[in-house]
Amino acid sequence: MFTMYTPSKKKIITFVCVCAVLAIYNTGDKNAFGSIARILYTEDELEQMRNDFGCISRRLHKLIYVHIPKTQTFARRPLWGHHPIFNLKNNAEERGIADFHTAATIRHPCGRFISAFRYLKSDICGGMDKRLREKFGILPDTTLDDYVQYLEDTHWDNLYMHFIPQYQHVVNQNMTKVDVDNILCNEQWDEGVQRLQSVLGVKMMGIRRGLGSTSDHVLQNHHEKCQDLKPETREAIVRFYAMDYCLFEYDELPSDEKEGICKKKIQVMFQINKALLTADETNNTRDAFRFQFSEDTLKQAADFQQNGHAFESTIATAFFELPNSKHGIEEYLDWTKNSLCLKDAMVIFTNVPDKLTPLREHAKDRTIIVPMQMDEIEVGNDVHITDEQWEHQLEIVSGFYKGKHLDVNLFKIWAGKSWLVNQALELNPFSSDVYHWMDIGHFRKEPWFCGETVVRHPEVVPEDRMMLFMRRDIRIQGNREVPDAIVVKDEFTNTFIPGGWIAGRANMWPEFLQRFEETIAMYMLVGVSLTEDQALLETTCIRNEGLCALVRRDNHVGYLDPSEQFETCSDEECKEKAGWRQGGWCDFFNMKYYFWHGGNFKFWDPATGYPTEDEDFGLWHPFVDQVATKRVMYLQDFSKKN
């Protein structure tokens, strides 16, 4: 776990979306270096690394430090160069440094870029830097705007080491997780040094800040602030350093760069780094991992469209037979029968199409069954997770599934829900404007909805947001290190957004998938398991204001037709369709009731922040009226009888 400073709380906290390290290196194998290690190392630098130079307090304090260029790091940094953590920790056991503390300093990406550019243009630019700057596109008359445009034109390929993104210095060699302990924020220097000294248990004498606000470097060069740059220049910097902005939670345009760190409400538009999730190098284009439908499936969809088989709403779902799942195959199949007997238009992904075809005989004019094998399932159009990485998820899981010997393909399916819906949307056989993801096990009781169209009210789906719902209130989250952290841990019992039913307009699903891919990348980098799809959904909604609309639990039962209220229901089927069964408002299977009954729903966007109980009592205490009390009494009675 790594620690980071949050200005708003003025204390040390454990953070889940950053990186950092302190390290020593001892290898002479140049070929082992990654992309950032393969940049202009001298033999002196390599020799120093072999002899543990680079540790600011050496073995005495068991301290390893990664020096990220232009972060205004420690002044005592002789010739140890700029090396990534996986090089610095190479052969750690043999060298006796496996238990060393690790840390690094980070800086606002835009401020760091400006500082690096001004340094390379200045008279105090070092000898080698001065000799090489022209090679990297910095000429005497080059302005900062010119240089950014040059980098854009060259796709940021001809990049000097001072401009390498910070996150690349602190992730492991496979770029699958952050391999660090502590981070020192340039913007809160004193706090970081004090925290590091506390971790080491010593007072590190002689440590002072590097090129700081009073240095000759600063005095000789006018440093623009990020807000002084041209909008197109700033936007290009944000695009390229998007992973730094995201992981370190910097605002794109802070009003004060000293307070521009660790803010929750970041809106970073970025493309996922393909190398991060081992994308296929031969498919290094956008949408490289879209599903390739068979000719038969494409023809069937085209025939439906041509013959006018149009439905306003389509449900996407999946059934895959696999061993060691959460439930037995026969149990899943029973639930599947209750789900596929609906009359709603459906696109169904499965590895056993012959078993499912008879279950949709009654709705052949509104059904596409897509044959798909497990190795064809992805989690995004732009990212790919290898089988080895999926296996690793069970090794690092910390929540409900820890110690359970489940098939990792189960988690792959769960994480792939949004991707599957987008594949169905690409096919769009029924020209639908509203698409739903529905877990195949959403109908677990009696088949009381068989023969019915459940989505009778697709109009309740917002035009510009994804529609999800809350399964419980928003008590302080035990699955986040702090209430406003943007990465939700894989704790099944603590999430308040269930993943059994998700709805959205056709224009919203592609955007939701892109934001979901960003979440996947963040989890992979910080080493949080992907086993809990509900945590992934919650993180995606928390990170992106305006993306999600959660049906609040304090709607009570006002959406029901009066004839179907609890008091007038005389049989179990009536109560089921009225929404009184299956746990009612506090369980996982409620979305069907919203689309069955329709109504004017109260929504909440978790990205807007958590109101206090005084500000929004209903969000914290949804069941306070008489109707809700009767509902709870009924559920308790029903539970005792069953």
User: In angstroms, rounded to a whole number, what is the distance separating the alpha carbons of residues 106 and 165?
Assistant: 10
Q: What is d(CA 471, CA 590) in angstroms, rounded to the nearest whole number?
A: 8
Asked if residue 506 has pLDDT above 90, the reply is yes
Of the ranges 3-7, 244-248, 637-641, the best mean pLDDT one: 244-248
Confidence of residue 465 (pLDDT cuts 50, 70, 90): very high
Q: Is residue 551 part of a domain?
A: yes
Least confident of 42-51, 517-526, 592-601: 42-51
pLDDT reported for residue 489: 64
- In whole angstroms, what is the distance from residue 147 CA to residue 163 CA? 12
Q: Output the CA torsion 274→277→281→285 (10° steps).
A: -40
The boundaries of the domain holding residue 397 are: 295-558+584-610
Please state, as a whole number, how many other Cβ atoms lie within 10 Å of the Cβ of residue 79.
Answer: 12
Write down the pLDDT at residue 15.
Answer: 27
Q: Is residue 194 part of a domain?
A: yes
Beta strand segments in 145-246, E: 182-185
Would you state the pLDDT for residue 401? 67
Q: Does any domain span residue 142?
A: yes
- Does residue 101 lie within any of the structural domains? yes
Q: What are the pLDDT digits (tens) for 346-364?
A: 999 999 999 999 999 999 9
Find which of 83-87, 191-195, 264-268, 337-341 is predicted with most confidence, using mean pLDDT: 337-341
Q: What is the pLDDT of residue 279?
A: 35
Q: Is the domain of 146 the same as that of 213?
A: yes
Residues 188 and 252 both lie in one domain: yes
Q: 382-386, 504-508, 602-606 — which is least confidently predicted?
A: 382-386
Residue 325 resides in a domain: yes
* Mean pLDDT, rounded, for 459-467: 96
Contacts of 96 (CB under 8 A, 6+ apart): 59
The CA–CA distances, whole Å, from 641 to 263, 634, 635, 636 equal 50, 11, 10, 9
Whether residue 323 is found in the same domain as residue 226:
no
Residue 461 included in any domain? yes
Mean pLDDT of 498-515: 94
pLDDT at 398: 66
pLDDT-derived band at 71, boundaries 50, 70, 90: confident
Same structural domain, 423 and 540: yes
Domain count, the chain: 2
Confirm whether 43 is domain-assigned: yes
pLDDT, residue 186, reads: 83
Please tell me whether residues 411 and 510 are part of one structural domain. yes
Question: Considering the chain, what is the average pLDDT of its residues?
Answer: 73
Examine the domain organization and report whether 516 and 482 are in the same domain: yes
Same domain, 471 and 598: yes
Res. 561: pLDDT tops 70: no
pLDDT digits (tens, 9 = 90+) for 226-262: 888 998 998 889 888 877 887 777 777 655 444 333 3
Residues 235 and 315 in one domain: no
Model pLDDT for residues 258-268, shown as the tens digit of each residue: 433 333 222 22
Average pLDDT for residues 536-555, to the nearest whole number? 87
Position 176 confidence tier, pLDDT thresholds 50, 70, 90: low
Same domain, 27 and 168: yes
Of the listed ranges 251-265, 290-304, 310-324, 572-586, the least confidently predicted one is 251-265
What does DSSP assign to residue 475?
Answer: P
Q: What is the pLDDT of residues 264-307, one digit of tens each?
A: 222 222 333 333 443 333 344 456 789 999 999 999 999 999 99
The residue with greater pLDDT, 255 or 322, is 322
Q: CA nearest 41: which of 128, 152, 136, 143? A: 128
Q: Tell me if 286 is assigned to some domain.
A: no
Q: What is the mean pLDDT of residues 436-442?
A: 89
Would you tell me the crossing angle of helices 231-240 and 144-153 to the nearest 10 degrees?
50
191 vs 102: CA distance, rounded Å? 16
CATH number of the domain residue 383 falls in = 3.90.550
Strands 63-66 and 548-551 come out as unpaired
Share of the chain above pLDDT 70, in %: 65
Q: How many CB atoms lie within 10 A of CB 626?
A: 8
Percent of the chain whose pLDDT exceeds 90: 24
Query: 107 or 395, which is more confident?
Result: 107
What is the pLDDT averaged over residues 405-411?
82
From 553, 560, 574, select the one nearest 625 (Cα to Cα). 553
Report if pTM > 0.75. no
CA angle (537 as vertex; 533, 541 as ends), nearest 5: 170
Are both 503 and 458 inside the same structural domain?
yes
Tell me the three state secondary structure of residue 619: helix
pLDDT value of position 474: 72
**Number of C-beta neighbours around residue 125 at 10 A:** 17
Same domain flag for 210 and 260: yes
Range ranked top by mean pLDDT from 71-85, 124-138, 568-582, 609-623: 609-623
Instruction: Judge if 532 and 397 occupy the same domain.
Output: yes
| Length of the chain counted residue by residue | 642
Alpha-carbon 394 to chain mean position: 18
